[in-house]
């Protein structure tokens, strides 16, 4: 997550990692995790960055008796450096700019406490439970790797197409987007302008979670929001799509007090609400059927 915070400036960074374990056997055993390979080959979380930035491997502490065999800690931190003249502060954001959303690959780095509660406490799933609504195992869907935005962002930054960038982490679009808005501006986000991942829709149905809480807890399918001049949107869209990504036009900048207003067209909202209600009813029916079967077994 740290590297995506830094790249919003944008900054060159140095990544330093250190490990602690019970025995160095875990580093030498071919069946154990290999730290360097994991960092270098991670599907873009650091992999893309390490090609353009700098990584240092710090100390490895061997602490027998403290860590059980096969367990370890891996910690890291990032220091970012950027020329003051090149910092993207958001001061160029103006009324009329548009919001471009880049899709997420899943939870990314936030919302796991609520997600675990909904999946494992409320729905009683296990990590190996196949969930038809999300077309995958519960554990697998929760652990998708954070998508790397660097390959496309560096092109947009180099082309001077971005006024501001907001990494959507804890707090969702609701709390993260205002951080890049200058005084006197606000944002209107149009719901229904991007595909919400089935993972989020299903979790909302499981716990009957209010939409506002979902928007403040999860990224809801948008991992990065770009603020770009409206006249440059087509060029931004072209660069993003050539890089193999999607660019969703999700809203605009308006006059305001640095807050996000969520709106939707009446027709789209009504259809979405009906679809969501139908899915929720289907889910509740299945849960009720499971409960009835358990009660029958207990009484027989």
Asked if pLDDT for residue 187 goes beyond 50, the answer is yes
- Provide the percentage of residues in the chain whose pLDDT is more than 90: 53
Are 111 and 260 in a shared domain? yes
Q: Which two tokens stand for residue 170?
A: 């804890």
Give the helix/strand (H/E) hosting 225: strand 222-228
Are 80 and 102 in a shared domain? no
- What is the arithmetic mean of pLDDT over 276-286? 71
Specify which residues 77 forms β-bridges with. Answer: 16
Whether 288 is covered by a domain: the verdict is no
Give the C-alpha distances (Å, rounded to integers) separating 73 from 19, 45, 80, 203.
6, 19, 24, 30
Where does a domain end: 33, 63, 86?
Answer: 86
Specify which residues 20 forms β-bridges with. Answer: 61, 73
Are 119 and 257 in a shared domain? yes
Are 67 and 128 in a shared domain? no
Domain of residue 35 covers 2-86
Are 82 and 201 in a shared domain? no
Whether 103 is covered by a domain: the verdict is yes
Residue 265's pLDDT is: 58
The band of 155, judged by pLDDT with boundaries at 50, 70 and 90, is very high
Residue 287's pLDDT is: 77
- As a whole number, the mean pLDDT across the chain is 81
User: b vs e for 243-268, b when ≥16 Cβ sit within 10 Å of the residue's Cβ?
Assistant: eebebbbbbbbeebeeebeeeeeeee
- Provide the percentage of residues in the chain whose pLDDT is more than 70: 71
Residue 73's pLDDT is: 73
Are 37 and 140 in a shared domain? no
Whether 145 is covered by a domain: the verdict is yes
Give the C-alpha distances (Å, rounded to integers) separating 233 from 124, 161, 230, 243.
44, 9, 5, 15
| pLDDT digit string, tens, across residues 106-134 | 999 889 999 999 999 999 999 999 999 99
CATH code assigned at 219: 3.90.650.10
Are 58 and 120 in a shared domain? no
How far apart CA 29 and CA 150 sit, in angstroms, is 33
Are 61 and 162 in a shared domain? no
Whether 193 is covered by a domain: the verdict is yes
Whether 92 is covered by a domain: the verdict is no
| pLDDT digit string, tens, across residues 226-246 | 999 999 999 999 999 999 999
Question: pTM to 2 decimals?
Answer: 0.73
Give the helix/strand (H/E) hosting 288: helix 266-299
| pLDDT digit string, tens, across residues 8-47 | 555 454 555 555 555 555 444 444 455 555 555 544 444 4
Are 121 and 262 in a shared domain? yes
The torsion region of residue 161 among left (phi > 0), alpha (psi -120 to 50) and beta comes to: alpha
- What is the arithmetic mean of pLDDT over 181-202? 96
Q: Around 272, how many Cα atoms within 13 Å sit in the side-chain half-sphere?
A: 15
CB 276 within 8 A of CB 205: yes
Are 201 and 259 in a shared domain? yes
Whether 244 is covered by a domain: the verdict is yes
Are 185 and 226 in a shared domain? yes
Are 111 and 256 in a shared domain? yes
Where does a domain end: 35, 61, 86?
Answer: 86
């Amino acid at each position: 997550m740290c590297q995506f915070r830094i790249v919003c400036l944008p900054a060159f960074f140095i990544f330093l990692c250190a490990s602690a374990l019970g025995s160095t056997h875990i580093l030498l055993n071919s069946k154990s995790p290999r730290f360097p390979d994991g960092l270098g080959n991670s599907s873009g979380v650091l992999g893309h960055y390490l090609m353009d930035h700098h990584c240092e491997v710090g100390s490895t502490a061997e602490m027998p008796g403290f860590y059980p065999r096969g367990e370890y800690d891996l910690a890291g931190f990032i220091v970012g450096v950027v020329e003051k003249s090149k910092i993207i502060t958001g001061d160029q954001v103006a009324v009329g700019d548009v919001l471009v959303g880049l899709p997420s690959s899943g939870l990314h780095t936030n919302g796991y406490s609520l997600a675990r509660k909904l999946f494992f406490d409320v729905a009683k799933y296990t990590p190996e439970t196949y969930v038809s609504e999300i077309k995958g195992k519960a554990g697998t869907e929760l652990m998708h790797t954070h998508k790397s935005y660097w390959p496309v962002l560096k092109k947009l930054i180099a082309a001077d197409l971005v006024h501001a960038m907001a990494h959507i982490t804890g707090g969702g679009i609701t709390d993260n987007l205002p951080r890049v808005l200058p005084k006197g501006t606000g944002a209107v986000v149009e719901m229904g302008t991007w595909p919400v991942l089935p993972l989020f829709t299903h979790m909302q149905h499981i716990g009957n979670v209010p939409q506002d809480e979902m928007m403040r807890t999860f990224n809801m399918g948008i991992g990065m929001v770009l603020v770009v001049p409206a006249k440059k949107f087509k060029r931004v869209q072209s660069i993003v799509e050539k890089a193999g990504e999607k660019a969703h036009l999700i809203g605009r900048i308006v006059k305001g007090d640095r807050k996000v207003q969520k709106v939707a067209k009446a027709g789209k909202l009504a259809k979405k609400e009906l679809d969501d209600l139908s899915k929720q009813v289907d889910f509740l029916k299945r849960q009720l059927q499971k409960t009835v079967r358990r009660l029958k077994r207990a009484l027989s």
